Amino acid sequence: MNLHKARLYSASRLSDLALTELNIDNALIERVGESQYQKTIAGRVYLVVEVQYAIFPSQLGSLTIPALRFSGYEVSGRTSFFNRGNRVIRTTEAHTVTVAALPDGQPAAGWMPATEVTLEEQWSAAPDSLTVGEPITRTLTLTASGLTGAQLAPLPAADGDGFKSYPDQAKLSETSDSRGVVGQRIESTAIVPQQPGELTLPAITVNWWDTASDRPRRATLPERTVTVAA
């Protein structure tokens, strides 16, 4: 993910402010923030309009971020519905960035570059003691800062002996703020023990790439052993 910011500085108030859409070939774009604030430059107060985008390239090589155009009307004491003041049009500069290849040894399938990844579990009931034939639902939540929900790879299947599992359809979502996009993948599975005794659920590990430290990392839920009653 690459964060791109476009800013407009104006010494006067503006109305009917508009901004052209950001469109880039071979990239997914999410508008993650928009704000207005004041900033003093060389003793003069400016109104700053800032728009932020998260850009997810899908192809290697050069990626051109095109210019964006702000437009609006200056607000003054004489401004009215029929006379909106002088029109203001400003254009940002275009930028070209290089999209690098994956690090050596990293597979394209399941590639997850992020700044933070967490893996959590919840149960529909206490998993300390189970009963043969009675289902219990295990819900796994994978959260990644810097990816959309659709970019999160499916979690490894928790297959093992002594139980049957019935996975539900995964739920994908994302939220956006000034820091970027946070994606989430939720997978729920009904687990039905088939025999009494000890039941071991294998560990679940998700490999991801830490873009802040530029190194591989893992998010893991440890192996869990529970007792199944007859």
Reading the block at residue 33, the tokens are: 């923030």
Distance (Å, whole) CA 49 – CA 14: 10
Output phi, psi for 106, to 5 deg: -95, 125
Contact 1, 148 (CB under 8 A): no
Contact 195, 164 (CB under 8 A): no
Distance (Å, whole) CA 18 – CA 27: 23
Distance (Å, whole) CA 65 – CA 61: 13
Distance (Å, whole) CA 131 – CA 118: 30
Distance (Å, whole) CA 26 – CA 110: 19
Residues 6 or more apart whose CB falls under 8 angstroms from that of 48 comprise 7, 8, 9, 10, 36, 37, 38, 39
The pLDDT tens digits along the chain (230 residues) read: 677 889 999 888 888 888 998 988 888 888 888 888 999 999 999 989 989 888 888 888 888 999 999 988 887 655 455 556 788 899 999 988 888 887 887 777 778 889 999 999 999 888 877 888 889 899 999 999 989 898 898 998 877 778 888 899 999 998 887 678 899 999 999 988 888 888 888 889 999 999 888 889 999 999 888 888 88
Q: Please tell me the pTM assigned to this model.
A: 0.77
